[in-house]
Amino acid sequence: MLTAIVGINWGDEGKGRMVDLLSSDYDIICRYQGGNNAGHTVINDKGKFVLNLLPSGILRETTVNVMGNGMVIDLEHLVGEMKALTDKGIHIGPDNLKISDKAIICMPYHKMQDIMEEERLADKKFGSTRRGIAPVYADKYMKKGIRMEDLLHMDSLYGKLRDIVEWKNITVTGYGHAPVDVDAMMDWLKTYGSVVAPFVTDVSGYLADAAASGKNIMFEAQLGALRDIDFGIYPYTSSSTTLAAYAPIGAGIPGAQLNNTIGIMKAYSTCVGEGPFTVEMFGDEAEQLRAAGGEYGAATGRPRRVGPFDVPASRYGVRMQGASTIALTKLDVLSYLDRIPVCVAYEIDGQRTADFPTGERLNRAKPVIEYVDGFGDVSQCRSYDDLPENAKRYISTLEQAVGCRIEYVSVGAGRDEYVKID
């Protein structure tokens, strides 16, 4: 069984918590794209964790965790994240963590370049997390990346690094910044690379063997469909492919076919950073929803922009992900509302549409809002029958609107706070 857990919306849908819940049935959990701009929050019997680079399966003793070739990895951050977990008693060793030899290393100069670029753009910035993600992916495709494999060959790494740094300094000095020092970069690679090197392996061969012997593999995405580099709200997207179809490639098993794609969809909308966000609420209404949902970025602490559930955007997200079923998250957050706003369509240039436009037309879209009855407290519900009638109605309204079955509903952040719908 090969299953992808992916985001239907703009990210922060609760992917980490669903991976933590559903990973009990899987042998291997793979992250396949992105870097430490991810923030996946998991609350379980071991405590509360925010994972940026490590797959959320690392918290289960029974799983092996893979960081795939599609990822970009800041070694210093990874070492810090591993230490924070081992300090809390979580075991991390080459037996339960395997890092692709083909994953690209996010260097300190990528972070620096990211910050310089956001500062240069001033009020036109893209809302980058300033973790070097766009510059490191750009370098990957310029074929100026340093791969994890290079950590296993320190002797030949110096020459490669020197050439890359010389090239990078054309850009860095262009920003008016002092050039990057190759020896400092080499020291950084040695310091953190020596900790990480024992985990670096040919993940592709490992996954092929695992799949052939019938192991269950789960792929954990970062961000959501609307942040995909091709199909999202470009250029306010991430720099990688957040879609399920890329999961086997980014993990290292490109010939495999997914059996199952679970789309994680939030009961309302949130968006971190810049870009068009048609359903955005402002003022007290927004503040109430943000407070109810605790909508502050896990990776950055930034207040998330909030709004009602967005049918056109979510329907598009379901289509782009090819979701087989949906996990609807954070239903409990809406408990305080007597009537719940839902954006059922957009109005663009006086025309009503249920299709999600990308590009310029999206900037002119206005939300068409309808209200459905509130359902009160659902936080204690553990089965479908426990749910109030109005909550069942909200769920079936969304199901019909996005055209996909809702299989799980989460009603709290804890591992067991959910309802399964058969």
**What residues are labeled active site?**
12, 40
Q: Contacts with ligand GDP in 14-73 (CB under 6 A)?
A: 14-17, 39-41, 43
If binding is defined by CB under 6 A, does position 242 make contact with ligand GDP?
no
Residue 63 Cβ, how far from ligand GDP at the closest point, in Å? 17
Q: Which is nearer to ligand GDP, 39 or 55 (CB)?
A: 39
Residue 361 Cβ, how far from ligand GDP at the closest point, in Å? 28
Binding mask 324-363 toward ligand GDP (x if CB under 6 A, else -) reads -----xx-xx------------------------------
Judged by CB under 5 A, the residue of 35, 39, 68, 263 near Mg ion is 39
312 to each of 7, 64, 193, 345, how far by Cα in Å?
15, 37, 45, 6
The β-bridge partners of 37 are none
Q: Contact region for ligand GDP (CB under 6 A) — 6-14, 77-85, 108-116, 350-358? A: 6-14
Judged by CB under 6 A, the residue of 30, 133, 243, 411 near ligand GDP is 411
Closest CA to 266 of 299, 297, 308, 325: 308
Block residue for tokens 């950055």: 300
Q: Which is nearer to ligand GDP, 43 or 256 (CB)?
A: 43
Q: Contact region for Mg ion (CB under 5 A) — 7-15, 117-125, 150-158, 201-209? A: 7-15
Which among Mg ion, ligand GDP, none contacts residue 114 (Cβ within 5 to 8 A by kind)?
none
Taking each helix axis from N to C end, the angle separating 154-174 and 108-121, rounded to the nearest 10 degrees, works out to 10
Which among ligand GDP, Mg ion, none contacts residue 14 (Cβ within 5 to 8 A by kind)?
ligand GDP
Give the pair of three-digit tokens for residue 47.
């405590």
Which among ligand GDP, Mg ion, none contacts residue 15 (Cβ within 5 to 8 A by kind)?
ligand GDP
Residue 421 Cβ, how far from ligand GDP at the closest point, in Å? 14
Q: Contacts with Mg ion in 263-302 (CB under 5 A)?
A: 298
If binding is defined by CB under 5 A, does position 224 make contact with Mg ion?
no
What kind and span of H or E run contains 143? none
Query: Strands, DSSP E only, in 132-213?
Result: 200-201
Q: Contact region for Mg ion (CB under 5 A) — 37-45, 62-70, 234-242, 387-395? A: 37-45
What is the helix, strand, coil percentage profile of the chain, to 5?
A: 40, 25, 35
Closest CA to 51 of 298, 266, 270, 267: 298
If binding is defined by CB under 6 A, does position 275 make contact with ligand GDP?
no
Tally the C-alpha atoms within 13 A of residue 164's C-alpha that lie toward its C-beta.
Answer: 22
Residue 261 Cβ, how far from Mg ion at the closest point, in Å? 19
Closest CA to 406 of 303, 351, 328, 318: 328
Residue 205 Cβ, how far from Mg ion at the closest point, in Å? 31
Which among ligand GDP, Mg ion, none contacts residue 13 (Cβ within 5 to 8 A by kind)?
ligand GDP
Contacts of 77 (CB under 8 A, 6+ apart): 36, 52, 53, 106, 131
Distance CA 78, CA 315 (A): 35
DSSP assignment letter at 71 = B
Residue 213 Cβ, how far from ligand GDP at the closest point, in Å? 30
If binding is defined by CB under 5 A, does position 12 make contact with Mg ion?
yes
Which among ligand GDP, Mg ion, none contacts residue 411 (Cβ within 5 to 8 A by kind)?
ligand GDP
Strands 418-420 and 406-410 turn out to be antiparallel
- Contacts with Mg ion: how many residues (CB under 5 A)? 3
Binding mask 276-315 toward ligand GDP (x if CB under 6 A, else -) reads ------------------x---x-----------------
Residue 377 CB: number of other CB atoms within 10 A?
A: 12
Distance CA 189, CA 143 (A): 19
Contacts of 365 (CB under 8 A, 6+ apart): 276, 278, 346, 347, 348, 357
Q: Contact region for Mg ion (CB under 5 A) — 32-40, 45-53, 128-136, 361-369? A: 32-40
Judged by CB under 6 A, the residue of 37, 65, 241, 410 near ligand GDP is 410
Distance CA 216, CA 212 (A): 10
Coil, strand or helix: which one is 347? strand
Using CB under 5 A as the criterion, which residues of the chain lie in contact with Mg ion when the complex forms? 12, 39, 298
Using CB under 6 A as the criterion, which residues of the chain lie in contact with ligand GDP when the complex forms? 7, 11-17, 39-41, 43, 294, 298, 329-330, 332-333, 410-413
